[in-house]
Amino acid sequence: MNHLSIAKEALVAQSQAVNQLADRLDGEFQNAVEVILACQGRTVVCGMGKSGLIGQKMVATFASTGTPSFFLHPAEAFHGDLGMLKPVDVLILISYSGETEELIKLLPSLRSFGNKIIAMTGNGRSTLAKHADIWLDISVEREVCPNNLAPTTSSLATMAMGDALAVALIAALQFKPLDFARFHPGGSLGRKLLTRVCDVMHSPAPFVSPLTSFHDCLLVMTQSRLGLTLVQDSVGELVGIVTDGDLRRALLDNSDTVNQCVESFMTPEPHTILDSAQLSEAESYMRENKVRALAVLSASSGEIVGVVEIFD
């Protein structure tokens, strides 16, 4: 049995199903996005089994991208968790058949509460689709399961529709990377986007003068453990930087460098950044300019307050 050919056929069939889903998008999708945007409460997603698992993923995406959302288990809702709802909440009910008993049993209560209902089903004539305010078509020609039984292609179509809603909402809300980071402070992206240069810079920065000897410059660099030092003139102006690389290149070019002063081997006009800048901005700047460190200036006084490295 050729497992690769079976897998490739499955992936092609699923990609075609998603393309067909896009071709069928209409005004109902537009209405769904507008209803969610106008919602004064939360977007609540319900589904049983695999539809419920996909619903939980949708909730996670919505909540992390600016659309307050939570998952409500249909069976638990019928036994008291309906109390979590407010009339201003919007419900997204997911059932490929549109006849899932646990969801159908909720309809009378949801109608009495006055909640807007968006149904995601593969059958526009189903009970769920008929009793919803908006119907999103997630139908597929068949499952890629050889027996056309296990939810496979239909699950993918459901998730793709959920992601399409999320992307449309992100664009409508003008949700930016910094907004995303605020909801992900523990992740690497959150750290990059929320952390400022002043939070990670090395301060105070090591300094030498242009007239400092090679030996004393090397001593300062070693003591700082940064492998670099800034160069400041007699009036306190930043005039250069010396890195380990500067020393190696200078020695390769001229062995007599050990008897010279800093001004002969420093890199003049070092790159700088404000202490109030985001760490991600500093990282991007260093990568673009191919430098490993930046002198940090105070946003209020303009004085040199530290050094930030690309590894910080």
Percent of the chain with pLDDT over 90: 67
Q: Which domain holds residue 115?
A: 3-175
Q: What is the pLDDT of residue 92?
A: 98
Write out pLDDT tens, residues 1-30. Answer: 789 999 999 999 999 999 999 999 999 999
The predicted model gives 211-235 an average pLDDT of: 89
Q: What is the pLDDT of residue 46?
A: 97
With a threshold of 0.85, does the pTM exceed it?
A: no
Measured CA to CA, the distance from residue 271 to residue 90 in angstroms comes to 51
Residues 143 and 225 grouped into a single domain: no
Q: What is the pLDDT of residue 190?
A: 61
pLDDT higher than 80, residue 180: no
Measured CA to CA, the distance from residue 226 to residue 247 in angstroms comes to 14
Q: Is residue 130 a part of any domain in this protein?
A: yes
Residues 232 and 126 grouped into a single domain: no
pLDDT higher than 80, residue 297: yes
| 296 contacts 305 by C-beta, under 8 angstroms | yes
Residues 127 and 203 grouped into a single domain: no
Q: What is the pLDDT of residue 273?
A: 93
Residues 64 and 170 grouped into a single domain: yes
Q: Is residue 183 a part of any domain in this protein?
A: no
| 93 contacts 115 by C-beta, under 8 angstroms | no
Residues 15 and 142 grouped into a single domain: yes
Q: What is the pLDDT of residue 292?
A: 86
Q: Is residue 192 a part of any domain in this protein?
A: no
**Which residue, 145, 148, 95, is CA-closest to 120?**
95
Q: Is residue 186 a part of any domain in this protein?
A: no
Residues 151 and 48 grouped into a single domain: yes
CATH number at residue 31: 3.40.50.10490
Write out pLDDT tens, residues 95-154. Answer: 999 999 999 999 999 999 999 999 999 999 999 999 999 999 999 999 999 999 899 999
By residue count, the chain amounts to 312
Q: Is residue 191 a part of any domain in this protein?
A: no
Q: Is residue 66 a part of any domain in this protein?
A: yes
Of 109, 140, 175, the residue at which a domain comes to its end is 175
Angle at 270 between CA 264 and CA 273, to 5 degrees: 165
Q: How would you write the chain as a 3-class SS string?
A: CCHHHHHHHHHHHHHHHHHHHHHHCCHHHHHHHHHHHHCCCCEEEEECHHHHHHHHHHHHHHHHCCCCEEECCHHHHHCCHHHHCCCCCEEEEECCCCCCHHHHCCHHHHHHHCCEEEEEECCCCCHHHHCCCEEEECCCCCCCCCCCCCCCHHHHHHHHHHHHHHHHHHHHHCCCHHHHHHCCCCCHHHHHHHCEHHHHCECCCCEECCCCEHHHHHHHHHHHCCCEEEEECCCCCEEEEEEHHHHHHHHHHCHHHHHCEHHHCCEECCCEEECCCEHHHHHHHHHHHCCCEEEEECCCCCCEEEEEECCC
pLDDT higher than 70, residue 178: no
Residues 122 and 271 grouped into a single domain: no
How many domains are there within the chain? 2
Q: Give the rounded distance of the alpha carbon of 196 from its chain centre.
A: 18
Residues 98 and 225 grouped into a single domain: no
Q: What is the pLDDT of residue 225?
A: 83
Q: Is residue 203 a part of any domain in this protein?
A: yes
Residues 203 and 163 grouped into a single domain: no
Write out pLDDT tens, residues 23-69. Answer: 999 999 999 999 999 999 999 999 999 999 999 999 999 998 999 99
Q: Is residue 185 a part of any domain in this protein?
A: no
Residues 158 and 206 grouped into a single domain: no
Residues 158 and 208 grouped into a single domain: no
Measured CA to CA, the distance from residue 228 to residue 21 in angstroms comes to 57
